[in-house]
Structure 1
Amino acid sequence: MNPVFNMDAATLSPVALFLQADIVVKIVMGGLLIASIWTWALIIAFWRRLGRIRKGMTGFERDFWKAEDIDAFYKAEADRDLPSARVFAAGVKEWRRSTAGGSIDKSGTRERLATAMGAAAALEIDRISDRLNILATIGSVAPFVGLFGTVWGIMRSFTGIAQAQNSSLAVVAPGIAEALFATAIGLFAAIPAVIAYNRFSHGVNRIEAALGRFADGFHTTLSRQLDGSR
Structure 2
Amino acid sequence: MTTPLLFALALLQEPDATSTAVQTTNGSAIVEMLHNSGPVAFSVLILLALSSVFSWTIMIAKWRSFSAARTGSTGFLRAFRKSGRLSEIATVAEQFKPSPLVAVFTEIHDEYLRQSGGRGLPRNPIALDRAAQTASSEALTLMERRLTWLATIANTATFIGLFGTVWGIIDAFHGLGTAGAATLRAVAPGISEALITTAAGLVVAIPAVIGYNQLTAQLRDFGARMDDFGRELLNAIENAAMLNLPGDDPRILPPASDPRRRTF
TM-score bin, normalised by smaller chain: 0.7 to 0.9
Structure showing the higher helix proportion among its residues: 1
Match of 2:231 among 184, 206, 216: 216
1:78 touches 1:88 (CA, 8 Å); kept in 2?
no
Residue by residue over 1:126-150, the C-alpha shift from the partner in whole angstroms, topping out at 9 and shown as x without a partner, is 1111121111101111111111111
Kindly report the root-mean-square deviation, in angstroms, between the aligned alpha carbons of the 2 structures: 2.4
The letter for the 2-side match of 1:223 is E
How far apart are the structure 1 equivalents of 2:119 and 2:237? 18
Residue in 1 that maps onto 2:262: none
| SS of alignment partner, residue 181 of structure 2 | coil
Shift of 1:170: 2.8
Larger-gyration structure (1/2): 2
How far apart are the structure 2 equivalents of 1:15 and 1:38? 24
Match of 1:95 among 102, 106, 112: 112
Q: TM-score, normalised by structure 1?
A: 0.88
- Could you tell which deviates more after superposition, 130-139 or 10-19? 10-19
How far apart are the structure 1 equivalents of 2:120 and 2:63? 48
The letter for the 1-side match of 2:192 is A
Residue by residue over 1:40-69, the C-alpha shift from the partner in whole angstroms, topping out at 9 and shown as x without a partner, is 222222122211111211111121122122
1:12 touches 1:177 (CA, 8 Å); kept in 2?
no
Residue in 2 that maps onto 1:64: 80
| SS of alignment partner, residue 159 of structure 2 | helix
Whether 1:15 aligns to 2:34 is no
Shift of 1:13: 2.9
2:121 touches 2:242 (CA, 8 Å); kept in 1?
no
How far apart are the structure 2 equivalents of 1:15 and 1:185? 14
1:12 touches 1:174 (CA, 8 Å); kept in 2?
no
Whether 1:38 aligns to 2:57 is no
Alignment of 1:178-193 (within 5 A): 178-193=193-208
Residue in 2 that maps onto 1:142: 157
How many pairs align? 222
1:35 touches 1:189 (CA, 8 Å); kept in 2?
yes
Structure 2 CA distance for partners of 1:195 and 1:10, relative to 1, 3 Å: closer
1:24 touches 1:149 (CA, 8 Å); kept in 2?
yes
1:11 touches 1:174 (CA, 8 Å); kept in 2?
no
Structure 2 CA distance for partners of 1:105 and 1:123, relative to 1, 3 Å: closer
Residue by residue over 1:162-206, the C-alpha shift from the partner in whole angstroms, topping out at 9 and shown as x without a partner, is 122113333212210111110010111101111111111001111
How far apart are the structure 1 equivalents of 2:130 and 2:176? 68
The letter for the 1-side match of 2:31 is V
1:32 touches 1:189 (CA, 8 Å); kept in 2?
yes
Structure 2 CA distance for partners of 1:10 and 1:113, relative to 1, 3 Å: closer
Q: Compare relative contact order (CA 8 Å, sep 6+) and give the higher one, 1 or 2.
A: 1
Shift of 1:17: 2.0
Structure 2's unaligned 5+ residue stretches are 1-6, 8-21, 247-264
Q: TM-score, normalised by structure 2?
A: 0.77
Structure 1's unaligned 5+ residue stretches are none
Shift of 1:102: 10
Structure 2 CA distance for partners of 1:144 and 1:12, relative to 1, 3 Å: farther
The letter for the 1-side match of 2:53 is I
Match of 1:122 among 105, 123, 137: 137
